[in-house]
C-alpha cells in the first residue's frame, strides 16, 4: 500500500481536561475498519490476560501473521501518521513505537480505573474502537476521571465504530472501561514512547 494514507485525523477534536486527549471519528479510511473487524472476529490469536484491575483477551499485531489487506496497520507510514497527529495535538518530540495490541472484552468483562503510567516507558497512546452494532445498553464505555477515584468521572466516551481516542499517558491519565453486556468490544491500541 505504498503512499496510501490509511488513517485520517481530519475530524479529531482536542481537549485538555481532565488530561490532554483527542477524540476522532471515521479514523480508518476506505472501509478498512470493516476488514479489520472481520479479521478480529475470526482470528484465533487471542489470549486471556488477567491483572488486578482487568481481564481481557489480547495479542500483539507485531507477533502475528497479518493478512495482506491489514499489513498497513504495522506499516511505518501508518505509525508516522499517528506520530504526526501526536506532535500536532500534544507538541511532542519524536516518538518511538512501543507496541500495537488488539484488545477484546466480552460479556461481563470490564477494566477498572488505571492510568497506564510506567515511569515514562510509555508516553502516548491511540485507541481505535471497532464496534459495529454497538448500542448504549451494550456498555463498554470509555470513562475518563479527574483522579484515581471511581466516583470522580469527568467524561464518558462511547466506543463508536471506527472512532479514535488519543492521549498523553501520565500519573493523571486515569480511565476505565465499563462492564460489557451481551457484546464483544474490540479495540486496537498503538503505544509510543517520547524520545
Condensed to tens digits (0 to 9), the pLDDT of residues 151-188 reads 999 999 999 999 999 999 999 999 999 999 999 999 99
Reading the block at residue 158, the C-alpha cell is: 462511547
Considering the domain boundaries, does residue 7 fall inside one?
A: no
Say what the pLDDT of residue 3 is. Answer: 53
Say what the pLDDT of residue 1 is. Answer: 43
Considering the domain boundaries, does residue 2 fall inside one?
A: no
Considering the domain boundaries, does residue 13 fall inside one?
A: no
Considering the domain boundaries, does residue 33 fall inside one?
A: yes
Count how many domains the chain has: 1
Q: Which residues neighbour 32 within 8 Å (Cβ) at sequence distance 6 or greater?
A: 6, 69, 70, 72
Considering the domain boundaries, does residue 109 fall inside one?
A: yes
Kindly give the parts of the chain with pLDDT less than 70.
Answer: 1-4
Considering the domain boundaries, does residue 41 fall inside one?
A: yes
Give start and end residues of each alpha helix (H) in the chain: 32-42, 76-90
Considering the domain boundaries, does residue 38 fall inside one?
A: yes
Say what the pLDDT of residue 4 is. Answer: 64
Distance, in Å, from the CA atom of 132 to the CA atom of 117, rounded to the nearest integer, reads 30
Domain membership of residue 161 as a residue range: 20-194
pTM to 2 decimal places: 0.96
Distance, in Å, from the CA atom of 70 to the CA atom of 65, rounded to the nearest integer, reads 10
Considering the domain boundaries, does residue 133 fall inside one?
A: yes
List the end-to-end C-alpha distance of the chain, in Å, as a whole number: 28
Distance, in Å, from the CA atom of 107 to the CA atom of 140, rounded to the nearest integer, reads 10
Say what the pLDDT of residue 5 is. Answer: 73
Q: Which residues neighbour 135 within 8 Å (Cβ) at sequence distance 6 or greater?
A: none
Domain of 153, CATH number, reads 2.60.120.620
Amino acid at each position: 500500500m505504498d503512499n496510501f494514507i490509511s488513517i485520517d485525523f481530519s475530524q479529531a477534536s482536542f481537549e485538555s481536561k481532565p488530561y490532554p486527549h483527542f477524540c476522532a471519528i471515521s479514523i480508518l479510511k476506505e472501509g478498512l475498519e470493516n476488514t479489520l473487524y472481520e479479521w478480529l472476529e475470526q482470528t484465533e490469536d487471542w489470549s486471556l490476560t488477567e491483572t488486578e484491575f482487568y481481564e481481557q483477551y489480547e495479542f500483539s499485531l507485531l507477533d502475528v501473521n497479518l493478512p495482506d489487506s491489514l499489513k498497513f496497520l504495522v506499516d511505518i507510514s501508518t505509525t508516522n501518521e499517528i506520530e504526526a497527529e501526536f506532535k500536532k495535538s500534544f507538541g511532542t518530540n519524536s516518538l518511538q513505537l512501543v507496541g500495537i495490541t488488539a484488545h477484546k472484552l466480552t460479556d461481563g468483562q470490564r477494566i477498572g480505573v488505571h492510568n497506564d503510567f510506567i515511569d515514562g516507558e510509555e508516553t502516548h497512546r491511540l485507541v481505535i474502537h471497532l464496534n459495529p452494532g454497538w448500542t448504549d445498553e451494550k456498555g463498554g464505555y470509555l470513562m475518563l476521571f479527574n483522579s484515581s477515584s471511581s466516583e470522580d468521572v469527568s467524561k464518558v466516551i462511547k466506543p463508536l465504530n471506527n472512532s479514535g481516542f488519543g492521549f498523553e499517558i501520565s500519573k493523571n491519565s486515569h480511565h476505565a472501561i465499563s462492564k460489557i453486556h451481551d457484546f464483544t468490544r474490540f479495540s486496537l491500541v498503538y503505544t509510543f514512547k517520547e524520545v
